[in-house]
Amino acid sequence: MRYSLAMSRPKPPGIVRYTIRLKRAQAERVAVIKAQLHAKSDNEVFDYLVTVAADQRDDLVQLVYALFGNLADNLTHRFQSLETVSQLHLALTDSYIKYALTALPEVPQAFLAGARARAALIYEQVNLTAAREFQRRRDSGAYSPNALGLEDGSPEFPSGVSEG
């Protein structure tokens, strides 16, 4: 069977034809990629861009999901640690209060008003001392992420992945 110029050739099965228009800069970029890939035709360049580049994009998407998963796991671990410390603090405070209530003698009624006034003064002094100590530690950098162990220098990335 012979084809005339007016007749188009039948397309091979499974092949779709695209006609695209590129700006000059895009055409130059295709030529650069063609040279870098040692491709024989523009079709090989587009095949590379559609298959390999798309697969790399999918790999990057998976990497981002893995990084967010690791971040979520890390945050969960940190919050669990914080909750554990809070529970420990509560348990120690509760034990101390129970000890103080059982070990201290009862104040006689005649001295109750004076004892309350002294207790309020001691309470205020303890709070002021704690606030001063907290401010001193903050000023010295004791609450920096590094000092608190939040920046341990070993970020948790999937194996084979480095930061940067």
Does residue 123 lie in a domain region?
A: yes
Look at the chain and report how many structural domains it folds into: 1
Does residue 137 lie in a domain region?
A: yes
Structural domain of residue 147, as residue ranges? Answer: 108-154
This prediction's pTM: 0.39
Does residue 113 lie in a domain region?
A: yes
Does residue 55 lie in a domain region?
A: no
Does residue 38 lie in a domain region?
A: no
Say what the pLDDT of residue 156 is: 47
53-92 pLDDT, tens per residue? 778 888 888 899 999 999 999 998 888 888 888 888 888 8
User: Which stretch, 28-42, 81-95, 97-111, 125-139, has highest mean pLDDT?
Assistant: 28-42
Distance CA 40, CA 38 (A): 7
Does residue 149 lie in a domain region?
A: yes
Say what the pLDDT of residue 7 is: 59
Say what the pLDDT of residue 163 is: 45
Distance CA 63, CA 158 (A): 8
159: left (phi over 0), alpha (psi -120 to 50) or beta: beta
DSSP labels, 37-81: HT-SSHHHHHHHIIIIIHHHHHHHHHHHHHHHHHHHHHHHHHHHH
CA distances from 108 to 53, 112, 122 (A): 85, 6, 19
12-28 pLDDT, tens per residue? 777 777 788 889 999 99
Say what the pLDDT of residue 43 is: 87
Does residue 133 lie in a domain region?
A: yes
DSSP labels, 119-139: HHHHHHHHHHHHHHHHHHHHH
Among residues 59, 63, 77, which one has the least CA distance to residue 157? 63
Does residue 20 lie in a domain region?
A: no
